[in-house]
Structure 1
Amino acid sequence: MAEPNADSSPDKPRVPLAIEEALAAAAIAVMGLITFANVVTRYTTNVSLAFTEEYAIVLMVVMTLLGASVAVARDHHIRIGFLIDRFGPRGRLRAELLALGVTALVFGALVVLGTLMTIDEYRFEISSPGLGVPQWLYTLWLPLLSAVVTLRALGRAVRVVRRPDILRAGAGEP
């Protein structure tokens, strides 16, 4: 008897990647609008909207972390394919689990350290240099989105353990 959730793609995450993809698209769209407004304003009025750089930087960090989350979930993270592709199935499984474990560990550390930094910025009322906005509003995205990447790495590890046949030579290549 087939499993109720079985489909043709055993590697498909339970939580749809469309969430991260939509947020990343929104971040890049807002970055584009900010940059466009800055260029138009600079050329038409000779005044720069330099303060918008803060927003652009935060959106770049958000977009990067969302992209990392999608890359981990889709198995498109950076790897040394030259070596991994020469491993047998068991070696590829071990290498994949090691990579996912290290990814989860590093982003888990970012969750903890980013949370501590955000709390400190909140407690000490640190404000951003350009706009005077509370800095913790910007920093908050680091631990939140690092947690998303950590969960995506752990989810992929669970899928790989349950179905090691999803690993193949050149798995991360488009």
Structure 2
Amino acid sequence: MNQKATFAGGCFWCMVKPFDQWDGVHRVISGYTGGHLENPTYEDVKSGTSGHYEAVEITYDPNIISYDEILKLYWQQIDPTDDGGQFHDRGDQYRTAIFYHNDEQKECAEASKQALTESGKFMKPIVTQILPAARFYPAEDYHQDFYKKNEDEYKEDRAKSGRDEFINENWK
């Protein structure tokens, strides 16, 4: 039976492709979670007033790819020490968070965060939050699979964000 994993890692455009290309991942949806406004729009979330995170909801088959493998991939897409956003995207809506869907996911997320903390990989504290999954609102259609539908704009935005430089320096 398929399961869901939900992560916030800054701009959701940059969080789809890394997960979308793995066996066992059936779907990656860009959207919003964790806020107080029902049915938020991109403009609501971008304004920083809705309380939502930009996030991705991943549907996967745990018989093919484990939640631990997905967590490992997640950590390698973000700067887990930045509590003000991610790379050139600043604001609470771009902070990092793992949204767990059950107790097992919570335990796995906490253990992976602890392992990263103890690894000494980063000099600053790991600030990525681990939170219970809240209602997930899919983003507008034009945000879905953005890296496929708007390849040039995606590459340009990603290039100027500083994300790839950070990943290459810290995770490769």
Whether the TM-score (by the shorter chain) exceeds 0.5 is no
Larger Rg: 1
Greater helix content: 1
- TM-score scaled by structure 1? 0.25
- TM-score scaled by structure 2? 0.25
Greater strand content: 2
